[in-house]
Copies of this chain bind each other. A is one copy, B any other.
Amino acid sequence: MYRYSVILGNLGNTCDRFCKGYKDNPSTEEMLALASKIPFVEGIELVGTWDIRPDNVKDMKKRMSDYGKKCVSIIPDVFTVKEYGKGSITNISKQIREHALNYLRKMSEIALEMDCGVMNLWMGQDGYDYLLTADYNQEREWLCEGTAKLAQEFPALKYALEYKPKEPRNFSYHARMSDTILAAKETGCKNVGVCIDTGHSFVAGENVAEAVVLAKRAGDLLFHMHFNDNHGSWDDDMIVGSVHSAVYVDLLYNLKKTGYSGWLSMDQYPYREDGTAAISESIMWVRQFEKIVEENFEKIDALVKLNDAVETSRFLRKFLTC
Interface string of A62-93 (1 = CB under 8 A from B): 00000000000000000111100110000010
What residue of chain B has the Cβ atom nearest to residue A124's Cβ? B18
**Among A18, A128, A253, A308, which residue has the most Cβ atoms of chain B within 10 A?**
A18
Q: CB of A320 within 8 A of chain B?
A: yes
Q: Could you tell me which residues of chain A, from 156 to 205, have a CB within 8 Å of some CB in chain B?
A: 165-168, 170-171, 175-179, 181-182, 186, 204-205
Q: CB of A274 within 8 A of chain B?
A: yes
- Cβ–Cβ < 8 Å partners of A15 in chain B: 17
Interface size class for chain A? 35 or more
In the assembled complex, how far is the CB of residue A86 from the closest CB belonging to chain B, in whole angstroms? 6
Interface string of A1-37 (1 = CB under 8 A from B): 0000000000000111111111000000000000000
B171 engages A136 (CB within 8 Å): no
In Å, the complex CA distance between A10 and B139 comes to 29
A309 engages B129 (CB within 8 Å): yes
B216 engages A19 (CB within 8 Å): no
- Cβ–Cβ < 8 Å partners of A277 in chain B: 310
In the assembled complex, how far is the CB of residue A315 from the closest CB belonging to chain B, in whole angstroms? 8
Q: Could you tell me which residues of chain A, from 276 to 322, have a CB within 8 Å of some CB in chain B?
A: 277-278, 281, 284-285, 288-289, 291-292, 295-296, 300, 303-310, 312-317, 319-322
Q: CB of A145 within 8 A of chain B?
A: no
Contact of A133 with B239 at beta-carbon distance under 8 Å, contacts A16-B168, A17-B269, A320-B288 already known: no
Q: CB of A113 within 8 A of chain B?
A: no
Q: Could you tell me which residues of chain A, from 217 to 264, have a CB within 8 Å of some CB in chain B?
A: 217-218, 231-234, 236, 238-239, 241-247, 249-250, 253-254, 257-258
Contact of A129 with B80 at beta-carbon distance under 8 Å, contacts A305-B135, A322-B288 already known: no
In the assembled complex, how far is the CB of residue A151 from the closest CB belonging to chain B, in whole angstroms? 18
Contact of A281 with B165 at beta-carbon distance under 8 Å, contacts A15-B17, A124-B18 already known: no
Q: Which of B125, B132, B312 contacts A132 (CB 8 A)?
A: B312
A214 engages B131 (CB within 8 Å): no
A210 engages B171 (CB within 8 Å): yes
In Å, the complex CA distance between A316 and B295 comes to 21
Q: CB of A272 within 8 A of chain B?
A: yes
Q: CB of A109 within 8 A of chain B?
A: no
B86 engages A307 (CB within 8 Å): yes
- Cβ–Cβ < 8 Å partners of A310 in chain B: 239, 273-274, 277-278, 281
- Cβ–Cβ < 8 Å partners of A306 in chain B: 133
- Cβ–Cβ < 8 Å partners of A178 in chain B: 176-179, 181-182
Contact of A238 with B320 at beta-carbon distance under 8 Å, contacts A19-B80, A272-B85, A305-B135 already known: no
The 5 A-B pairs with the shortest beta carbon distances in the complex, nearest first, are: A178-B178, A232-B232, A130-B309, A245-B245, A136-B213
15 contacts between A and B (CB under 8 A): A18-B79, A20-B20, A130-B238, A131-B246, A132-B249, A133-B312, A137-B213, A137-B258, A177-B178, A239-B309, A241-B245, A242-B313, A273-B309, A273-B310, A278-B313
